[in-house]
A and B are shown apart, each in its own frame.
Chain A
């Protein structure tokens, strides 16, 4: 079974803090993705990566950055958290045909 894990299920941070969300996959997938999920908006792609040290902007990259130093790990960074970044963050990894999701991190910025 494909396993995608995320470092935290729930996270509470203060405005202005730097936040790291970690994602690890164990299937040697080249593609990894970060989405955020908000009610009524579905999932929106923040950043994705097709290879180590490679990153591409998704549809809503503003306020975020990413890091992929190893194939199995893809990190999402909020440089200075703001209240409008309160959301559910979902990581995914995939083969180019199938994409598998982690359980999500619910981030609250106060």
Chain B
């Protein structure tokens, strides 16, 4: 079955790196995603990684995928107060469009 888990909260100081972790259970996942949700807003697609990749970097964001352990992480370098938000991990399975299964979200708080 599909189950995506994340820790609920993470607090970091401005300028430090943040690492948000996610575990998933479905080994047939094809894409894994990171979304950001600011207060009162919808979800913004940050980045995604194909399941045959180990790493993807996009400016301050680095995604690491350990397929053996079914572990996904999002690293935000030089975290800023504007990065404070809820971050959702999601997985998709091939077959029938792109149905996503989401984690419960990690609330990132950036302190001065």
Contact = CB atoms under 8 A, between A and B. Distances in A.
A9 to B, nearest CB: 8
- The 5 tightest CB contacts between A and B, nearest first, are A101-B42, A42-B104, A101-B43, A43-B102, A31-B97
A45 B104 CA distance: 13
Give the dominant DSSP class at A's interface.
Answer: strand
Interface string B91-106: 0000011111111110
8 contacts: A30-B97, A40-B104, A42-B88, A43-B88, A97-B98, A99-B33, A99-B45, A103-B42
A56 B96 contact: yes
Given A40-B104, A97-B31, A97-B48, A45 B41 contact: no
B44 interface: yes
Which of B4, B45, B99 has the most C-beta atoms of chain A within 10 angstroms of its own C-beta?
B99
A98 interface: yes
Interface of A: 4, 30-31, 33, 35, 40-45, 48, 50, 56, 58, 90, 92, 94-104
B98 A99 contact: yes
A104 B40 CA distance: 8
Given A42-B88, A42-B105, A43-B88, A99 B41 contact: no
A80 to B, nearest CB: 27
A50 B100 contact: no
A102 B102 contact: no
